[in-house]
């Protein structure tokens, strides 16, 4: 079964439908590339997918090891390059509302850095990941 169906809506906008669930994501070209910037751009989705993937696999690992990661938050900043226009770097920040032992921090950080999306990105794309433990929420 296919994963998604994507339709071009015109005016540099697409609608991607997840086939199994029917959930939809709208994308829009960014303001600096002829778009309206009214929704995630495809490159925004890539940087967001990196953070979502890291958080998902951390959650899986944490359940298996009895580590409480509830309240984990993340954000991302994509860095665009030119010639060719592409993402040259993604800065990720993962924040946890509690402190962890050194052992648990090693598990969390290794898991994040080896998530499937991180491992699928080209090695020239710099991934800068910051882990914040025992801090206030990002929002």
Output the pLDDT for position 1. 87
The pLDDT averaged over each successive group of 10 residues in the chain (139 residues) is 96 97 96 92 97 98 98 97 95 96 97 98 97 80
Q: Burial-class residue 30 by CB neighbours within 10 Å (0-12, 13-18, 19+).
A: buried
Q: pTM of the full predicted structure? A: 0.93
Q: Given this model, what pLDDT does residue 137 score?
A: 66
Our CA angle for 52, 3, 41, nearest 5°, is: 50
Could you tell me the residue ranges of all domains in the chain?
4-33, 42-133
| 85: exposed, middle or buried (Cβ count in 10 Å: 0-12, 13-18, 19+) | exposed
pLDDT computed for residue 135 by the predictor: 74
Q: What integer pLDDT is reported at residue 12 of this predicted model? A: 97
Q: DSSP states of the chain as a string? A: --SEEEEEEETTEEEEEETTT--EEEEE--GGGTS---SB-HHHHHHHHHHHHHHHHHHHHHHHHT---TT-EEEEEEEEETTTTEEEEEEEEEEESS---HHHHHHHHHHHHTSHHHHHS-TTSEEEEEEEES-----
Q: What is the CATH number of domain 42-133?
A: 3.30.300.20
Instruction: Output the pLDDT for position 139.
Output: 65
């Amino acid at each position: 079964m296919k994963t998604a169906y994507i339709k071009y809506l015109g005016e540099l906008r697409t609608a991607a439908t997840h086939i199994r669930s029917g959930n939809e994501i709208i994308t829009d070209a960014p303001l600096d590339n002829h778009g309206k910037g009214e929704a995630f751009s495809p490159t925004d989705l890539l940087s967001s997918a990196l953070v979502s993937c890291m958080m998902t696999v951390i959650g899986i690992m944490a359940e298996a090891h009895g580590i409480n990661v509830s309240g984990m938050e993340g954000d991302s900043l994509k860095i665009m390059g030119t010639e060719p226009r592409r993402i040259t770097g993604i800065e990720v920040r993962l924040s946890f509302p509690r402190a962890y032992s050194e052992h648990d921090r090693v598990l969390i950080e290794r898991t994040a850095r080896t998530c499937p999306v991180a491992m699928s990105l080209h090695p020239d794309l710099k991934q800068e990941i910051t882990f914040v433990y025992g801090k206030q929420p990002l929002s």
